[in-house]
Structure 1
Amino acid sequence: MEDSLLHHQIRPRFRIETSLTPAEIETKLSKSVSEDQESVGGKVIPGHATLTLPERDQHYWSPQLTLSFEEAEGQCLLRGMYSPRPVVWTMFVLFYSVVAFASLVISIVGYSKWSLGQSAGILWLVPVLMVIFLSLYLVSYTGQKVGRKQMITLHNFVEETLGINIREE
């Protein structure tokens, strides 16, 4: 797998056109997931698949690979996105939202007080919240690095199962 696929993106993606039909992709993935549950598991439904690692190999930062496949102009369009599990993603969205909302409220209150000539010491919290925001980003980036080996496992599984070579978008 190309190293660049996993760099410079929080949620790396790929998009390729293949001569396989959506039904062939679904069949190959279903067969491989049921036969190879030792290394990769998941769910496959028409036009969509979510691949994960077995429970015993998962940790907090374990990724999942979401695939969608559809007929497009005589070819099959296969899209994939590597992402954290939904619970991790939701937690980070919640934390980002809380920090952003707190920054907005503190900024409004602080600038209101400042415009009225009152003490606006509360504005010192804005840089603190920005440091927290940056820390959250760095933690998520570190988590992606921790899950990199597992992302490669999922990537190789799809390439071997479908007999295709995936490059990044």
Structure 2
Amino acid sequence: MNIFQFQPAFTVDIPLEQPQAIARLKAAAASDELRGVAEAAGAVIDFKIAPAERRFWSPHLSAQCSASEEGTQIFARFSPRPEIWTMFIAIYFVVAILICLALTIGYVQWSLGYAPWSLAAVPIGLLVIVGLHVASLVGQQLSADQMAVLRSRFDRAVEIAFDGLTVTDRSTASTDEAAG
């Protein structure tokens, strides 16, 4: 696993035009087998862990279809559930603002001849950011089994939608690498 890779991804090429590929994938997502664990909207299909099996670190797999020279390219990315991802980004943002504020106050204190005590918040903020990064990597490790489930659901949707067609998997990070 790449230690700096927050959201492992892979691509799949489909030899059909984008509207046809999307229609087939939407039909596969609506099939009895995938209903409830796959949702389609526009050119995006999301694969989710069933609510009964969901944990705090449970990922989801978002697959976006776009036109390519060969037909359609599906770009799929594992990531935390949107509400968890939003929480992490909000914490990063707040910590970054507090670091900037501490630097500004520290500069003012230093320029006025006072002890720049507010600069002590900078390494604390950096430790919080590193802690968040480590927590995300631990979450990936804890959810490796669910990432494999999501990848198998994606593969099954592709199989249902494009049975008989040659599909090219051009993974940038396989599930094994993502799982560690």
Establish whether TM, by shorter chain, passes 0.5.
yes
- 1:166 matched residue in structure 2: 169
| Structure 1: runs of 5 or more not aligned | none
Aligned-pair Cα RMSD in Å: 2.3
Task: Please give the residue correspondences for 1:84-123 in structure 2 after superposition, counting only pairs within 5 Å.
Answer: 84-123=80-119
Higher relative contact order (CA 8 A, sep 6+): 2
User: Partner of 1:35: helix, strand, or coil?
Assistant: coil
Structure 2 residue 44 is matched with structure 1 residue 48: yes
2:8 paired with 1:12: yes
Amino acid corresponding to residue 137 of structure 1 in structure 2: H
User: How far off its partner does 1:62 sit?
Assistant: 0.9
Letter paired with 1:70: S
Aligned with residue 136 of structure 1, among 132, 136, 150: 132
- How has the CA–CA distance of structure 1 residues 46 and 95 changed in structure 2, closer, same or farther, with 3 Å as cutoff? closer
* Cα distance change of structure 1 residues 51 and 126 upon mapping to structure 2, 3 Å threshold: same
Paired residues of 1:29 and 1:161 also in contact (CA < 8 A): no
Among the aligned pairs, what percent are the same residue? 24
Taking structure 2 as the reference length, the TM-score comes to: 0.79
1:101 match: secondary structure: helix
* 2:30 corresponds to 1:27: no
TM-score by length of 1: 0.84
